[in-house]
Amino acid sequence: MKGLIFSITTGQGHNQTAKVMAEELEKKGVECKYMDVYEYIHPRLSESLSKLYLMSTKNIPKMYGTGYRMMELREAGNSHVLPKLTNTLLAKKLLKLLRAEEPDFIICTHVFAALLVTYLRDHFNKKIHTIGIVTDFTIHPFWEDTCLDYYVTASELLGNQGVKKGIPAEKLKPFGIPIDPKFAAKRTREEAFRELGIPEKKTVLVMSGSMGFGNVADGIKELDKLPFDFQIVTICGNNKKLKEQIERLKLTKPAYHYGYVNNVDVFMDASDCIVTKPGGLTTSEALAKGLPMIMNNPVPGQEDRNVEFLLNAGAALKISETFSLSDAIYQLFLNEERLEILYRTIRFLGKPNSTKDLVEFVLGLE
């Protein structure tokens, strides 16, 4: 069996999903390649789109959110300029790849890649199974303009949304967003703390470059004033300046600050809750770990939709200008009934075996 997995770099979630799927399929003996399809067509195209996405979401987020909403409100089939250009100008080079590789299946982790594959469907030399993976807790604009065999969604609860967008219900496969299988493994808290080398006690995990309408330093100082005994663990990624800033804080509570780590799953096993931006992949990992989320600073557009989904499902809290991080933690630690509701909903929504289930589905295609 042979497959191609197409991603496009707008953030890293699409690429990470493609990478995980390729690795797990290869473990099952499938010859599999994954690539940024725009980079394959022309490196500058991929670089330009990636820079445009980062600039829009960081520097003009409100404008990005307005544009996203306009795309949501358009009528299906009423394609705008970018998808039309994608289909007509970029697909020819990709067709050469498909004819050379002759894959049995194609998986698309970005809607623009799915649009390309849709355009090329009638040009395949053989039957190729096509699968789209929707990488947020919503169905992004333009998925309704694609025509694939199957669509992998984050949850069964997105079924109605998919059907309203014109996707046949039998094509929707709610396996969950594929995540690294290590998030399916569950270690005890004792084991997690031992691996991390920090004391075992109530722990708030902070994974974000900002906290709502404030910043990480202010948020941590706010947490430090709460009348509960807990420790704070922050993961700053590659933001060295942020790590140095929060390390200079004088706190009364125990606090441990990390830069880039490759064992987020262990930190999640050791934590009582996580403060994070509501990206599709991080959200799926936290749900798989059964970890209550406090969401902050969503990117307008798809992350706003993740917030809506999780709040309406009763699976998370969200901080804002008028509901601070300390308010959220205060409620979470005092209201055991609310916490139990969160746990029940998270267990229902979590898809720890998302990647395994999708791999088995692909292997069963004829």
Q: Are residues 186 and 244 in the same domain?
A: yes
Q: Percentage of residues in the chain with pLDDT exceeding 70?
A: 92
CA dihedral 211, 214, 216, 218 (to 10 degrees): -130
| Residues 167, 146 share a domain | yes
**Does one domain contain both 128 and 23?**
yes
| Token pair 């929060």 in the structure block, residue | 246
pLDDT tens figures, 178-190: 999 999 998 999 9
User: Based on the domain organization, do 36 and 129 belong to the same domain?
Assistant: yes
Assess whether 207 and 61 both reside in one domain: no
169 and 21 housed in the same domain: yes
Determine the pLDDT at residue 173: 98
| One domain for residues 188 and 251 | yes
What are the tens digits of pLDDT across the range 297-322?
Answer: 888 888 999 999 999 999 999 998 89
- Tally of domains within the chain: 2
Which stretches of the chain are DSSP H helices? 13-27, 37-41, 43-59, 61-73, 81-101, 111-120, 159-164, 189-196, 216-224, 240-247, 264-270, 280-288, 302-313, 325-334, 336-349, 354-363
CATH number at residue 344: 3.40.50.2000
Residue 281 clears pLDDT 70, i.e. is over it? yes
**Is residue 194 domain-shared with residue 332, that is, in the same domain?**
yes
Domain that residue 127 falls in = 2-177+352-363
Residues 173 and 187 placed together within one structural domain of the fold: no
pLDDT band, residue 213 (cuts 50/70/90): very low
CA-only gyration radius of the chain, Å: 21
Both 248 and 165 in one domain: the answer is no
Average pLDDT over every residue of 344-362: 96
Instruction: Of 219-223, 290-294, 297-301, 329-333, give the lowest mean pLDDT range.
Output: 297-301
The rounded mean pLDDT for the chain is 88
Q: What is the pTM of this model?
A: 0.90
Same domain? 20 vs 149: yes
Q: Are residues 233 and 163 in the same domain?
A: no
- pLDDT tens figures, 225-279: 999 999 999 998 878 888 888 889 999 999 999 988 999 999 999 999 999 989 9
